[in-house]
Structure 1
């Protein structure tokens, strides 16, 4: 079963670009990970310090395994102090979509 997440991160004033850079850099760890179907980092237009991260995984276990990779830890340790609070996270059920990485059942 697909595992989808929508994450809202709010950077401390003046730190949005640094958080964006760290999120994009940490996403490079996913380049060769077939379990991650989507990792999209977006900056809010309406709220200057807000960042959205969308994830789509083939399963929850694969996402959790990625979060436990030791090479991810330095990115987390550098990002968290730049945030105004803990990220808000919503689990979603993907229904349909378009994208090169989407499995046939979601297209």
Structure 2
């Protein structure tokens, strides 16, 4: 049951973290009906006021790539780009199982 996972980090302009969180939560909502998107978590750390983390789990890497071409995703990317000062793909993961995943 290997799945494709991503753990990423967005660094945003001062005062824009909450805006970025809202944009990413909209992205999560837009993927609610995508069966191949199993987990899309948006998180912040109080010690990092300019950083937002995203943890994604997909049925496979192609499903993730396909999601980037969706009109809703492209619209959200356009909204987010002006406030992003840096991005880092912390790692890609081969998910082996656990609570919360669709088998």
TM over 0.5: yes
Greater RCO, CA 8 A, separation 6+: 2
CA-based RMSD of the aligned residues comes to: 1.2
Unaligned stretches of 5+ residues in structure 2:
none
Alignment check: 8 A CA contact 2:3 2:96 kept: no
Q: Which residue of 1 aligns with 2:69?
A: 68
Q: Which residue of 2 aligns with 1:38?
A: 39
TM-score (norm 2): 0.90
Q: Which residue of 2 aligns with 1:88?
A: 88
Offset at residue 52 of structure 1 (A): 0.5
Q: Which residue of 2 aligns with 1:6?
A: 7
- Number of matched pairs: 101
Whose strand fraction is larger, Structure 1's or Structure 2's? Answer: 2
CA separation in 1, counterparts of 2:22 and 2:71? 19
